[in-house]
Structure 1
Amino acid sequence: MEVLSEAQISRKTGGWITFPFIIASLVGLTLAFGGLTSNLIVYLIKEFNVESIDAAQISNLVNGAGSLAPVVAAIIADSFLGCFTIIWISSIISLLGAILLALTTTVDSLKPTPCEVGSTSCAPIPKVQYVVLYIAIALATLGNASLRSTLTTMGANQFDKPKDQGIFINWFFFFLSASTIIASTAIVYVEDNVSWKAGFFICVAANVLGAAIFLLGTRFYNNSKPEGSPFTSLARVVVASIRKRKLPLPSTSEDLYHGLMLVEPSKTCRFLNRAAIKSEGDVKPDGSTAKSWKLCTVQEVEDFKTLVKILPLWSSSFFLGTTIGVQGSLSILQALVMDRHIGPNFQIPAGSMFVFVLLSSALFLALFDKVLFPAWKNLSGKSLTPLQRIGVGHVLNFSCMAVSALVESKRLNVAKSNPGSIIVPMSAFWLVPQLALVGIAEAFHIPGQVSLYYQEFPITLKNLATALISVLVGIAFYLTTALIDVVRRTTTWLPGNINDGRLDKMYGVLVVVGVVNFGYYVICAWFYKYRNIKEVVDHSDSPFHG
């Protein structure tokens, strides 16, 4: 029997043969999670009698965890387990969450007693039902979110050529968006018009199918071994600089540890240079480090400085994600009390309203790449820089809040003209302009941020580009939760029935905060100096380009 060499085995794994397995699993798992969470606010209100603002808060917490979990999963995959292991474990976790949620619509002991929304005579829901519900939501969220980053990385790792990797990433995000739209419309429609049981069990089936197809492709995958996470090297710089904080800074770089690359230390944040000071016993005879958490290379220190330098710009984008969080949750509450009919027989599910953000973002990304950006370059002779794209996103963001305030003011006036009416006789399509603006703003600032981080970070930190976006969105959703909680505690703007509140005033405050935040961004951008001005180009050839 012929024994295959390692090179021959490697040629039989990876490549485009893995594409159907990875994309099919992505579609199945995304349909499952999208179907469970897109309509979560409505499910909590109608089935568990959760107050509307509390339901919105739970949704924000879910979205925040869903953005932070991929970063944690990526660190574990890079450092210990590898992508393949994380994916199959996460798919099982998400499946357990989906099954538990489906059981809350089926098993009598887990299913709440039917109660009219807003009724004060409802029987209290047993605590065990809430416990099962929240465990199910947590499992579904953490499981699916952990899949997102690792499935992307594993898919890209199946290809050796950057061109093939770029094509894969483009198709990956196309199917991710398409699956999210289908989940937010078709599955949500089943939940609203057929039954929650049918909709949730469709999600369970999609999860099972996605996980099964992924495992079927096991023998075709090229599984790379964990090589360590860039977050680990960044943490080592912090630890080493603290441990050597009492050492005097050397006058020359000869006393610093360079490793294999001779890099001159910069003068900014000089206290961090202590992490590279060579002490007795730090370096082995062969030139490698004896204690990795006590000594770093100058290059590692400079990489950390690059991150520190960009943090002010990064922090100025928290508010951009906060706007997404506010619109994603409160727009559903607005839609629930508005006329959502198209014709006499069809009604748009409230949980499907956010699909207008996805559609406008996708449409304008295509227009930017094919029409608007080339036209701008022909007229001005220059491409839009990443900082300019982010700046436009800021302006569109607080403009969106202004439109939201005007629409909500009109909605409240109509509600006051129809006292006692639960459904305000005003079309939910009035919400579409503000949701579309959110999508257009995303089409500007998210690709702009990825391009900025991608061009500014050294090659060892390129993977941080998408990680920083996930962390940014996660923090923004938690800030949204905190903001709504503060408004509820200090004002009467957000009661259980938003027809009795002043959501328009909250939107107005967000306009002011957005303008102030834009001023902070302009200051940060003004003082920011590109690491290499030659790299400030249009990244149309990059797989990370919008």
Structure 2
Amino acid sequence: MDSTGQFYRSPLLEEDNSVQEDSVECTGDGSVCFRGHPASKKHTGKWKACSLTIFCSFCSYLAISSISKNLVSYLTKVLHETNVAAARNVSTWQGTSFLVPLIGAFIADSYLGKYWTALIFFTIFNTGMMMLVLSATFPLISTDPHVWPAWTYSVSSQHIIFFFGLYMVAIGYGGQNPCVASFGADQFDDTDDEERTKKSSFFNWHHFAINAGALISGTIIVWVQDHEGWLWGFAIPALFLIFGVGSFILGSSVYRFQKPGGQGSAIEGSRKLVHTTGFEFFDKAAIVTSVGCESVGRLNAWRVCTVTQVEEFKILIRMLPIWATMVLFATVLAQMSSTFIEQGMVMDRHVGPLEIPAASFQSVDIITVLALVPIYEKILVPVFRKFTGMAKGITPLQRCGTGLFLSTLSMVSAALVEGNQLQTVQDRGLVGQNVAAPMSILWQGPQYFLIGAGEVFSLIGLNEFFYEESPDAMRSLCLAFSLANISAGHYLISFIISLVPVFTARGDSPGWIPDNLNEGHLDRFFWMMAGLCFLNLSAFVFCAMRYKCKKAY
């Protein structure tokens, strides 16, 4: 009140800048050890701790990619679904696995913390894997002449248990994914310049590890599924998952833990944000008024926010256009587990005396990532640094834009390959015959390579962008938000694929993606995707050039 007894509107509510002096031996970001005491800089965190989370992510991704990489083959050959139905089901399931992270991250940031939330979803993940193993035993049970009569309807029972287990795997993997990833990044202290620089390397090597898991699943596990059966094909990744979760639990004593902040800046020691222009109407939430006071000298937290809380909300609004323009990249990634495999299944898959499973050719993408991550870390970053003067070489947004460009080229490459294949089929009089074309599957190499290169730039850049720009108390949620981008991309491509036969099948024409691809025009579908990717890249550049990065102190 002023001297006349009237309430007045003050400037923006200032932060409480009183910070307790940190011990030299403890971290400066408010993290604690497993027992709840301030975390020691010497005995906790850094690479010795995050390496265990990286190994856990390696095992987790090996398990889920062992399913996703050959799922379209399982649905068409074992469950006898059509190409369109299988591609749609694969995209819908993968979309679910990247949507659930929002739930897991919300629980982690608001209530349980990342560690305990991850363990809960790991339990669901393991249960789902066990159900897939169980479903794979049904064909073996049904062939036994002494089978119990209740198992005579094994086909329908197999469907029910398989899909129930499949979606438990999606929920379990999706819920733990942002928790483990951001928990690993939390092992580096943001208030320490040296550790903060290493955090960028963590995202590179984390992505390297999950692609190493994908390489094993896409070669060895897929081969086991095709040649030794699905029982072993599901049991082996289930064992890897158990090893990964065990290693995650064993590292509990060396981890650094951030207390859940309840979606506000409640983490002790968290950084404050500088007030920015733009979206200024939100600043009213940080202005003291009579309705914001319950009593003299006391503010109602439900009505009056701090500057940092307002700026955190502005950050989320600013990130939305970046998030939206990265959705098309996820639709390109989805092609590797659906249309690319279907394209490879009707090509000549013999390389010398060996016959390559169509799903295994995704290994080109994985090998590309494994090769380019060290090259990016050791060669490209120093080169970029000479031109930009930045410690990281280029910004996360610049990495994302480069990846979008490469994904557009991938769709162009896929369209050219399919066009040449259809021309070969027509020249040899194979139209209408459901046989493999004489064109080698090796021609798919460039499209997989370009997507892999795009991943090194876009996926890692997007995760780093959301982690760095997110409020300190909402990092799991924002990292999950970046994963939800992939979910949206899978749902979008599932919707697009569903519309393709509606608009392209006319009379005797079977449409662009029929069961017999030799009668269709999959090349036109790829050209359409290339055009959408180019338009999306233009929109991304427009949004990225206008994005304002956060400033913390």
| Alignment match, 1:26 | 57
1:357 to 365, 381, 405: 365
Alignment partner of 1:325 is 2:334 = yes
State the partner residue of 2:11. none
CA contact (8 A) 1:65 1:141 kept: yes
Matched, 1:348 2:361: no
Distance 1:412 1:93, change over 3 A: same
Residue type at the aligned position of 2:138: V
Deviation at 1:8, TM superposition (A): 9.7
Q: CA deviation at 1:64?
A: 1.5
Which residue of the partner structure matches residue 169 of structure 2?
A: 140
Unmatched segments (≥5 aa) in structure 2 = 1-34, 145-151, 505-510
Distance verdict in 2 for CA 1:479–1:125, change over 3 Å = farther
1:304 and 2:313 matched: yes
Is the counterpart of residue 106 in structure 1 residue 148 in structure 2?
no
1:190-221 Cα offsets, whole Å, 9 max, x none, are: 11111111111112222333334444455565
CA distance in 1, matches of 2:402, 2:248: 40
SS in structure 2 at match of 1:180: helix
In the other structure, the counterpart of 2:229 is 195
Q: Is the 8 A contact 1:97 1:138 kept in 2?
A: yes
1:429 aligns with 2:438: no
> Structure 1: which amino acid aligns with 2:347?
M
Amino acid at match of 2:281: F
| 2:111 corresponds to 1:80 | yes
| 2:422 aligned to which of 403, 412, 415 | 412
Q: Amino acid of the residue matched to residue 371 of structure 1? A: I
Aligned letter for 2:346?
V
- Name the counterpart of 2:178: 149
Q: Output the amino acid matched with 1:505.
A: R
Correspondence list, 1:36-75, <5 A? 36-75=67-106
Q: Secondary structure at the match of 1:229?
A: coil
Whichever residue aligns with residue 489 of structure 1, its letter is: V
What's the offset of the Cα at 1:271? 3.4
CA distance in 2, matches of 1:6, 1:269: 39
Deviation string for 1:456-492 (max 9, x for gaps)? 5565666666334212211111111111111122111
1:22 Cα shift?
Answer: 4.0
Q: Take 2:396 and 2:58, find their aligned partners in 1: how far apart are those partners?
A: 31
**Residue in structure 2 matched with residue 253 of structure 1 by the alignment:** none
Partner-residue secondary structure (3-state), 1:50: coil
Shift of 1:184: 1.7
Q: How has the CA–CA distance of structure 1 residues 207 and 389 changed in structure 2, closer, same or farther, with 3 Å as cutoff? A: closer
In structure 2, which of residues 515, 538, 542 is the aligned counterpart of residue 496 of structure 1?
Answer: 515
Identity of aligned residues (%): 29
Question: In 2, Cα distance between the equivalents of 1:209 and 1:273?
Answer: 49
CA distance in 2, matches of 1:486, 1:232: 46
Please, which of 506, 509, 515 is the counterpart of residue 525 of structure 2? Answer: 506
Q: Which has the higher contact order (CA 8 A, sep 6+)?
A: 2
* CA displacement at 1:426 relative to structure 2: 1.9
Greater alpha carbon shift after TM alignment, 28-37 vs 472-481:
28-37
TM-score (norm 1): 0.78
Q: Is the 1:13–1:221 contact (alpha carbons within 8 Å) kept by the matching residues of 2?
A: no
CA gap 1:19/1:386 in 2 versus in 1, 3 angstroms: closer
CA distance in 1: counterparts of 2:114 and 2:171, whole angstroms:
15
1:504: how far off?
0.5
Q: Is the 8 A contact 2:107 2:113 kept in 1?
A: yes
Paired AA for residue 404 in structure 1:
A
Partner of 2:211: 177
Q: Could you report, residue by residue, the CA deviation over 1:346-369 in whole angstroms, capped at 9, with x for unpaired residues?
A: 222222222222222332343334
Aligned partner of residue 514 in structure 2, secondary structure: coil
Gaps of 5+ in 1: 114-122, 234-259, 536-546
Task: Quickly say closer, same or farther: Cα 1:534–1:327, change in 2 above 3 A.
Answer: same
Change (3 A) 1:306 1:487: same
1:276 aligns with 2:286: yes
User: Cα deviation per residue 1:208-249 (whole Å; 9 max; x = unaligned)?
Assistant: 33334444455565554322236999xxxxxxxxxxxxxxxx
Instruction: Give the length in aligned residue pairs.
Output: 492
Give, in angstroms, the shift of residue 45 of structure 1. 1.0
Cα distance in 2 for partners of 1:455, 1:463 equals: 11
Pick the aligned partner of 1:314 from 308, 314, 323: 323
- Structure 2 match to 1:469: 482
Distance 1:8 1:142, change over 3 A: closer
2:542 is aligned with what amino acid? I
- More deviation, 17-26/390-399: 17-26
In structure 1, give the amino acid aligned to 2:439: M
SS at match of 1:59: helix
Return the alpha-carbon distance in structure 2 between the equivalents of residues 534 and 282 of structure 1. Answer: 26
| d(CA) in 1 for partners of 2:472, 2:115 | 24
2:537 is the alignment partner of 1:518: yes
Question: Counterpart of 2:344?
Answer: 335
- What are the within-5 Å matches in structure 2 for residues 226-265 of structure 1? 226-229=260-263
Q: Distance in 2 between matches of 1:393 and 1:330?
A: 20
Q: Distance in 1 between matches of 2:262 and 2:202?
A: 24
**Offset at 1:63?**
1.9
- Measure, in 2, the Cα distance between the counterparts of 1:110 and 1:230: 54
Distance 1:124 1:506, change over 3 A: farther
* 3-state SS in 1 of match to 2:98: helix
Task: Decide whether the 8 Å contact of 1:319 with 1:514 is kept in 2.
Answer: yes
Distance 1:483 1:436 in 2: 24
Which amino acid is the alignment partner of residue 527 of structure 2?
G
SS in 1 for 2:415: helix
- Post-superposition shift, 1:448? 4.0
TM-superposed deviation, 1:307? 2.9
